[in-house]
């Protein structure tokens, strides 16, 4: 695993895929911990098309040591640096017959503990008792996301489709995409692999058509200290 190559890919394309970060047994252990969790809590979202756990590592803390194995820590520190820490975690379970899809967008918000009027931060939203806010663009440009795939994922069961290098163009409204210029790519990932992406990368997800699950753990990382009035809603040091 040449992390210099992966780092260059992320810088140029906005994403990279790394296989074999988790063994089959490690994946099974993570899934077993999830299955033991009480799914009636407010931070859980359940429908025919999607099962999600917000603040995942807070709700299922026994997965922390399983997720942050030696390989993942090496990747995070080697690609981004020693000063990065976790600021958000979500678990997504897209069932075999899901019609749930997400159109092209950038991830323009961060999760914080409260609403405070601070220059450069806004607008705010509050969903399921979770505050989110659009921060200054330098925070979004330095943050990154790791998506751990617990199932083989391709175009037929919701692999992310992305527009390469769109992360380098600032706030990029999806309605302005010029398909004569832009190129769509499918980020297929094998079970136990990870996809790393920048929040400003335009991405989407299609419906499931092959009757196969797509379970993903979505982790966001930052090295930015927020203004003292604000705190990240989640914080986990990798040291």
Low-confidence ranges of the chain (pLDDT < 50): none
Predicted pLDDT at 79: 95
Task: Name the residue range of residue 82's domain.
Answer: 3-237
Where do the DSSP E strands lie in 85-169? 85-94, 102-105, 110-112, 124-127, 130-133, 144-149, 160-163
And the tokens for 174? 């999806």
pLDDT in tens, 108-145: 999 999 999 999 999 999 987 889 999 999 999 999 99
Predicted pLDDT at 99: 73
Q: Are 105 and 203 in contact (CB under 8 A)?
A: yes
Total number of domains constituting the chain: 1
The pTM of this model reads: 0.94
Instruction: Supply the mean pLDDT for the chain.
Output: 93
Cα separation, 19 vs 1, in Å, equals 9
Predicted pLDDT at 174: 94
- What's the CATH code of the domain at 137? 2.60.120.620
């Amino acid at each position: 695993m040449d992390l210099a190559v992966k780092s260059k890919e992320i810088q140029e394309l906005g994403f990279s895929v790394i296989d074999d970060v988790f063994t089959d047994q490690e994946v099974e252990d993570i899934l077993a911990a999830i299955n033991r969790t009480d799914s009636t809590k407010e931070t859980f979202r359940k429908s025919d098309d999607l099962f999600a756990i917000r603040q995942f590592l807070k709700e299922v803390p026994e997965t922390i040591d399983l997720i942050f194995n030696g390989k993942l820590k090496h990747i995070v520190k080697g690609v981004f640096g020693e000063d990065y820490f976790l600021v958000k975690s979500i678990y997504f379970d897209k069932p075999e017959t899901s019609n749930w899809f997400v159109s092209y967008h950038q991830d323009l918000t961060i999760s914080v503990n409260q609403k405070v009027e601070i220059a450069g931060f806004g607008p705010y939203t509050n969903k399921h008792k979770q505050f989110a806010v659009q921060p200054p663009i330098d925070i979004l440009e330095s943050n990154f996301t790791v998506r751990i795939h617990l199932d083989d994922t391709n175009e037929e069961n919701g692999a992310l489709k992305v527009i390469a290098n769109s992360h380098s163009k600032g706030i990029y409204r999806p309605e302005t995409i010029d398909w004569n210029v832009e190129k769509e790519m499918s980020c297929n990932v094998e079970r136990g692999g990870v996809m790393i992406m920048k929040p400003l990368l335009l991405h989407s997800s299609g419906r499931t058509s092959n009757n196969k699950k797509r379970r993903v753990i979505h982790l966001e990382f930052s090295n930015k200290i927020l203004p003292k009035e604000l705190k990240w809603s989640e914080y986990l040091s990798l040291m």
